[in-house]
Every structure is written in C-alpha cells, then in structure tokens.
Chains A and B, each alone.
Chain A
Amino acid sequence: MMEILGLLNDGLWLSLQPTNLLLIIVGVTLGLFIGAMPGLGSVNGVAILLPITFLVPPASAIIFLAAIYYGAMYGGAISSITLGIPGASTAVATTFDGRPLALKGRASLALITAAIASFIGGTVSNVLFTAFAPPLATVALSFGNPEIFALMLLAFATFVGLGGDDIPKTVFSICIGLVFAAVGYDEISGAPRLVFFDISGFLHGVNFLVLAIGVYGIGEMLWTIDSTRGKITSTDAKMSVKGIVSDAKEGMRRGWKGTAIGSFLGFFVGILPAAGATPGSLMSYGVAKMIARNPKEFGQGHPGGVAAPEAANNSASTGAMLPMLTLGIPGSPTTAILLGGMVIWGLTPGPRLFTDQSEFVWGLIGSFYVSNFFALVINVAFIPLFIWMLRMPFTILAPMIFVLSVVGGYAATQDMHDVWLMLGFGLGAFFLRKLDYPLAPAVLAIVLGPIAEPTLRQSLLLSSGDPSIFFTRAIAGPITVIAIILILLPLFKKIWTKVKSAKAETPA
C-alpha cells in the first residue's frame, strides 16, 4: 500500500508540473464546452485534438486528453439541464430530472448537484482505480456476453418496473428504441437491415443523438411551448454565492444516495469491456430511483436523479481506463482513441505497462485527481454564465435551442438525412408526448440496443438457442432473476392492491 501511495505521490507531482497543469486547465475547459455542445462528446474532442498531443511528451499528451475527457463528462450535464438536450449519450439520464429542475427555476441546484456528484464520482473511482486496478481487470474479464445482456435487461427492467407510467406505453417506447437501434447493417451477417423505402441514409443506422435531440430538442420544446402557451417559467433562475452554498447543501442532502450508487455502480459498469459510461449512468439512475423513498419524485425534478447519472458517468469514465491500461481492451469509444494514441506514442498497453512505464501510468493516474479537481472548480465558475443563459427571454432561448439541435443533429453524423430524421422524430415525439407516452425509455433503448442485441445473439449461439444460459451462470443468473422480478413488479403491485381492497370490503 505504501508503495502505491509513493507512486501516486510521484504521479501527482508530475501532473502538477507547470506545463502539465496548464494542459489540464486548458483541456478541462475545452472538454467542458465540447461536452456541452449537443452532437459532440468526449470522443470528438479527444479524436480531434489527438494530433496536437504529438507536440508534447507522451505523459503530458495523455494528461491533456484525460483532462478533455473529464471536462466533457462534466460538460454533458450542462446542456441536459439548461437546454434539455443531452450534450452526450452519457448525459441522457441527467435530462430526466435536470430539465424539470431547470423548468422549476432551480437550474443552479441541478448544476451544482451535477458538479459535486461528478467530483465525488470521479474521486471514488480514482481511489478504486489506484487501489484495485489489476484485480478488478480480472473480474471485468469474467463478464461474458450472457452477463452483459443480463445487465442490459436489468437496465430496461428498472424503467418498466419503476416507471410508474403507463406500462404498455413504456414497453412500446423501449421496443421502438431497440428497433431503431437495429436499423442499418446486421452486425453478424453484414446484410442491410430495415433500410426503409431503400433510402441510403438508413444504411448507416439511426444515431442515438438524432433520436435524443429530436425528442428533447424539438419534441419536448414544442410540447413545452404548447402546454405553457408560450409562457415559460424557467427564466426566474437566480444566482448568488449564498445560493450556491445552500444549493450545494440541498443537492448533497437529497442526492447523497444517488451519488453513492452512481460512484460505485458507474465504476463497475465502466470497467466492463464494451459497456462504458452511458449504460453506467442509465443504470445508476434506475437503481437510485428504485431505492428512493418516493420513486415517483424521480422524473419530476429530484436532485438524486441528477446526482446518480452524473456521479456514474464520471466514475465510469475512469473505470473505462482500467481495462484499457491493464489489458489493452478499451471500455468505451473514447478510450479506444486514447489506446490508439498510446500505441502511436510507442507505449504498449497491457499488464506490463504498470511495471515498464510506471512513470507514465502514475502520471496519468495523478492527472485524474488533478483534472477532477479543476473540472469541479472550472465548472462551478461557469455556472453563473449558464444560469444567465437561462434567464434570457424564452423567445431568444428557444430559437437558439432549435439552432443547436439542427447543428448537433448534423455534427453527429454529418449527413442531412439525419437532420430530416431528427425533425421527424421531434414531431412524432411531440404527438406521443401529448398522449402520455414516456419517451426517455426509447432514448435509453437506442443507446443500449447496440450492446444488447449482439450479446443476446452470441449468448444464444453459445447455448445452441437455449435461453436457460441467462439463468444458470453464476453472475448472469441472479441479475436476470432480479430483472424479471422488476418487470413483473407492476403486476404484483396491482394484485396486492386488489387483494387489499377486497379484504377492506369484506365485512368482519
């Protein structure tokens, strides 16, 4: 343990060198804005700025990229809360409660809760990373396809079992999201699939951002204008130092459970190869809602619903670095690019990296701590700017959101077909929203679909078509059973209420 602390100390010193510190501050600030821009996420920032890093030594380069990664994780929450459009897939779940809080004029509470939860999530995962990197990598490897599919099933089950919304409409929403995720090419046979009306734009699939921006940037906005008759109340958001402190206290008092769940669950899901921060944040939201005293408050503007996904996405982003460094397996698209960068710099990721390139590894781990701290400070410093944005008259904010939506929809895939599709989704979402169809499950499903389908198919191939594979394996079994119980929960609740009312009616 002392040896680890000594190495960490060296790493912290390395990341606090003037050049590296400057890179961290620049990286975090850039990441914050890239993450906040709908359509662009950490993966764009890291990919675009990768060539710049060839000008500095490898340790400084990865410190810079890790800072962008961290900044983007914080930044995703900003547009989710202030504009109601998820800045990145990792911040989809933040929209569920962040936006209602902003609409109630409590955007500062949501932004501060997100910043603090992100900081705690980042710190917890850094400590876990520092202490348990090699053994955790082995655990992650024991997660095969059946286990990952069981986890996906659990994520969907939390939405069905605890949604409280109309169950058939929730299930419909999940399924349509999964079907949209299947558009494009069948990954296993390579054959084109669901290419509607032979329009070639469907060949590259439906990007989740196209659906997410359509639903939140256009559909939800139209619905808000319609239901409030254009008199939006989000403009009374105020900001003061005293307010920041009291919001921070309230955010932690009501969001500590969510933060704790997000920090640990996010880290664990993050280390699983192919999972990453998005499922981590969505699952943490689901679990936080599940164990909340009053789950119905979630979705209406509960700080716990902001804290859980935000703690989780930061925690998972560190977690995703673990299989990359220790095994050479990237846990997310961003870490895949980082891995590419490391190879270009002449470093070989894998178990020997910790011994052969110890200065590099510990410099990187040290930079996680420093980046996390600066991301918190820079984020809080910018909160008044974001609140000021919200105080703009709605007739200025609304066209800006529409412009951001169209540009974001284009930037995600750089195809006008997707912009038209986004408008279609937006109008569809507006009509469905009016009829109480929950749309968040569809967004969740389109994000998780590309993980769920191949893992299901490969598991069934492994078992020659026998679905009992999801019940008989040591890790997958219990997860599947919990998921099924959650799916059946509304039915149990209904029966229980009927039995209770029947008993009450029976004369003694």
Chain B
Amino acid sequence: MRRAEIVTAGVLALMSIYLMWKSTELNVGYITGEGPGGGAWPFWLSGIMLVCTGFIAFNWYRQTSPPSQSTEPFLDGYGKKMLLLVGGGIFGFIALVNIISMYGAMFVFLIYYLRFLGRHTWVLTMTIATLVPITFFFFFEALMRITLPKGMKFLEPFFNYLNTIIY
C-alpha cells in the first residue's frame, strides 16, 4: 500500500502538469475587457492539484497518512481476480453494446454474472436475464422515448418487430 501511495501521487502530479499544459491552449491570464481567459480556471485548479500531490508525497515521507503506514499489499490475489472477473465483465458488457445492442449485452452480462460468478441456477439466471432487458426496453423505448443502442444491422428485424408492439 505504501508504494502505491507514492506511485499514485506521482501519476496524479504528472496528470496535473498535463492538465496545466493542456489549459494553456486558451489564455490563462487576465484579458482587459474580457476578464480571466478561458484557460485560467482549469490552469490554476490544476496548479493547486499539483501542490496537493506535493503535500501527499510529503505526508508519505513523514508516514502520517494511513496508506503510507500500511504494509498490506495494494491488491492481493482476491483483489486482482475480482478486478479481472468483475471489472473485465463490465468492460465486456460495454464492448458488446455496439454489436448485439444494449439489451443483448445486458442479457449476456447478466448470464455471465449470475450463472458463472454468482453460481445461481439456470432457471433463476434465465428469468432475470430475460426480464431485465424486456423491462428496460419498454421503460426506455415506450415510456421515456429514449432509444438505447440497437447494435449491428442483423438485429434490425427483431427490433422492428418489438417496435410494432409499442407503436
């Protein structure tokens, strides 16, 4: 944890410097008759962020913050596995949206999580994995008139059929 604290402070310091540099694309000073330039607000805020990372590093050196005193690993075996299975699952879910639509991706993700991570029965898994996308479909498309991504072209006939129910 102690190493992670200083590495994170370093990464955040670099990010602050990048944000300061990026802000200079617009004027960061005071323009007479116009007030502070468009870059001034993010520039100075990023500057404060940089100063904060300095203090975080100082506290790390003095070992005053809890993570800087901790000898525990930042991510143990369980943490890494969890991040891979759960975080990776969400990543896969989002990646599938543009291919098999939001509803299809939801269906696949729910099967993955409920059956393979949660170890629930197939009956429960399939019931939830089917009912949730259907409920979302009618709530968003029919009631709220918000269309969620429909995926690639091969799904068009299927959604056209569902739309005939709504309209």
Chain A contacts to B: CB under 8 angstroms: 34, 37, 40, 44, 48, 166-169, 171-172, 175-176, 178-179, 182, 186, 188-189, 191, 193-194, 196, 218, 222, 225-226, 229-230, 393, 395-396, 398-400, 402-403, 406-407, 410-411, 414, 416, 419-420, 423, 426-427, 430-432, 434-436, 453, 456-458, 460-461, 464-465
In the complex, chain B residues whose CB is within 8 Å of the CB of A172 = 12, 49, 52-53, 56
Determine the distance from Cα of A431 to Cα of B40 in the docked complex, in whole angstroms.
29
Q: Quick one: closest A residue to B65, CB to CB?
A: A166
| Residues of B contacting A396 in the complex (Cβ-Cβ under 8 angstroms) | 114, 118, 120, 124, 128
Q: How many A-B residue pairs have CB under 8 A?
A: 179
Q: Closest 3 A-B residue pairs measured CB to CB? A: A395-B118, A461-B35, A186-B38
Contact between A458 and B55 (Cβ–Cβ < 8 Å)? no
A399 lies within 8 A of B35 (CB)? no
Contact B67 A411 (CB under 8 A): no
Contact B36 A457 (CB under 8 A): yes
State which residues 1-44 of B face A: CB under 8 Å. 1, 4-5, 8, 12, 19, 22-23, 25-26, 30, 32, 34-42
Q: Which of A48, A402, A407 has the most chain B CB within a 10 Å cutoff? A: A407
Query: B113 touching A416 by the CB < 8 A rule?
Result: no
- B82's partner among A182, A194, A226 (CB-CB below 8 A) is A226
Flag if A194 contacts B114 (CB, 8 Å): no
CA distance A230 to B78 in the complex (A): 10
Q: Is the CB of B94 within 8 A of A406?
A: yes
Cβ–Cβ < 8 Å partners of B128 in chain A: 396
B105-119 interface mask toward A, CB cutoff 8 Å, 1 = contact, 0 = none? 010011001100111
Cβ distance B135 to chain A, nearest Cβ, rounded Å: 11
Query: A226 and B79 in contact (CB under 8 A), knowing A410-B102, A416-B97, A457-B36?
Result: yes
B62 within 8 A of A: no
10 A-B pairs within 8 Å (CB atoms) are namely A168-B59, A178-B42, A179-B45, A194-B22, A222-B83, A225-B82, A402-B109, A420-B94, A423-B91, A435-B1
Question: What B residues does A432 contact at CB under 8 A?
Answer: 8
Q: Which residue of B lies closest to A395 (CB)?
A: B118
Determine if A166 and B46 form an interchain contact, defined as CB atoms under 8 angstroms apart: no
Which of A37, A44, A169, A427 is B52 in contact with, Cβ under 8 Å? A169
A40 to B53, CA, bound (A): 35
Interface presence of B74 (CB below 8 A):
yes
Taking CB atoms, residues of chain A closer than 8 Å to B91 are 423
A399, closest chain B residue (CB): B113
Select which of B26, B35, B41, B59 is within 8 A of A166 by beta carbon: B59
A213 to B120, CA, bound (A): 27
Contact with A175, one of B52, B75, B148 (Cβ below 8 angstroms): B52
Report whether B82 and A179 are in contact in the complex, using a CB–CB cutoff of 8 Å. Answer: no
Q: Which residues of B contact A230 (CB under 8 A)?
A: 82
Write the nearest CB–CB distance from A45 to chain B, whole angstroms: 8
Are A182 and B42 also in contact (CB < 8 A) when A410-B149, A458-B35 are? yes
CB contacts (< 8 Å) of B55 on chain A: these are 167-168
Q: A179, B90: Cβ atoms under 8 Å?
A: no
B132 within 8 A of A: yes
B86 within 8 A of A: yes
